[in-house]
Structure 1
Amino acid sequence: MAKKVVGYIKLQVKAGQANPSPPVGPALGQRGLNIMEFCKAFNAATQKLEPGLPIPVIITAYSDRSFTFITKTPPATILLKKITGVAKGSPKPNTDKVGKVTRKQLEDVAKQKEPDLTAADLDAAVRTIAGSARSMGLVVEG
């Protein structure tokens, strides 16, 4: 018989840096899950990724206080900021531009994000990432 799911917890935790402090501790503690067990498993699963990169994670909590988790790819905005060297997006993206991004850079980000995007092909994924870039105040070239 399958275990009964009691809830899902969505967090963004830095790769290789999960610890019991907020937001991880309180979120897992409310469900009665073993916080240190999650921290060790998450850090082991993300050790090959760049340390400090925020990784979205979805934790499935079961009635017997066990859990499973799925890691996603880093948010597109984080990858775009890293690739362009921009500190933060523009508060007025339509009037104030903060940087430029090329088609090649968009393709690199799209390839990295492809497992999590619902796009049918790479071109559609690039268009999705280009939309994110424009909403951050980046000028899309090409």
Structure 2
Amino acid sequence: MAKKKVSRVLTLNIKAGEASPATVAKDLGPLGINIMQFCQAYNAATTPSRGLVVPAKITVFEDRSFQFAPKTPTTASLLRRAAGVDKGSAKPNRRAEMSISRDQLREIVDIKLPDMNTWKTDTAEKMVVGAARSMGIEVKD
């Protein structure tokens, strides 16, 4: 069987379990794939992470079929959930309005490590701490 020719590869950030034609149509509609079929498959695959933003790498083929691979939830959405807030601080460098514990940080690192560009947990922790700082979230010991 011959390999399908890839038409396009794209990455979309969509809330897990909440994909609808309205949210993805502007990105997927011009590619000619079945949007409802994508939404059903994405929602089924990301149900355990419901409420978090989960990127999906979508490969569209010339025959308008597709494959997708959900990634781990975004660091920002994991930090917001751990801190119990809806969005980061409006003035993150002036004062830290929210905080998370070191244990919560390690949980986030364990979730994110497969998709990060490092295999060392201490380096990954520094990356997540930097993201937290830019959102106005302080990591307490």
If the length of structure 2 is used for normalisation, what is the TM-score?
0.90
Q: Residues of 2 paired with 1:52 and 1:88: CA distance?
A: 13
Q: Residues of 2 paired with 1:116 and 1:124: CA distance?
A: 13
Which runs of no fewer than 5 residues in structure 1 stay unpaired? none
Shift of 1:115: 1.3
CA contact (8 A) 1:86 1:98 kept: no
Q: State the match for 2:64 in structure 1.
A: 65
Which runs of no fewer than 5 residues in structure 2 stay unpaired? none
Q: Residues of 2 paired with 1:26 and 1:135: CA distance?
A: 30
Shift of 1:54: 1.7
Shift of 1:2: 2.0
Query: Equivalent residues in 2 for 1:20-99 (5 A)?
Result: 20-22=21-23, 24-47=24-47, 49-99=48-98
For these two proteins, the number of residue pairs brought into alignment is 140
Question: Which digits, 9 at most, give the CA deviation of each residue in 1:113-132, with x for residues without a partner?
Answer: 11111122211111111111
Indicate the RMSD between aligned Cα atoms, in angstroms: 1.5
Question: What is the one-letter code of the residue matched to 1:98?
Answer: E
Q: Matched residues, percent identical?
A: 44
Q: State the match for 1:8 in structure 2.
A: 9
More helix by share: 2
Q: Residues of 2 paired with 1:88 and 1:100: CA distance?
A: 13
Question: Which digits, 9 at most, give the CA deviation of each residue in 1:58-110, with x for residues without a partner?
Answer: 11111111111111111111111111113321232221211122221110110
**Deviates further, 65-74 or 94-103:** 94-103
CA contact (8 A) 1:9 1:27 kept: no
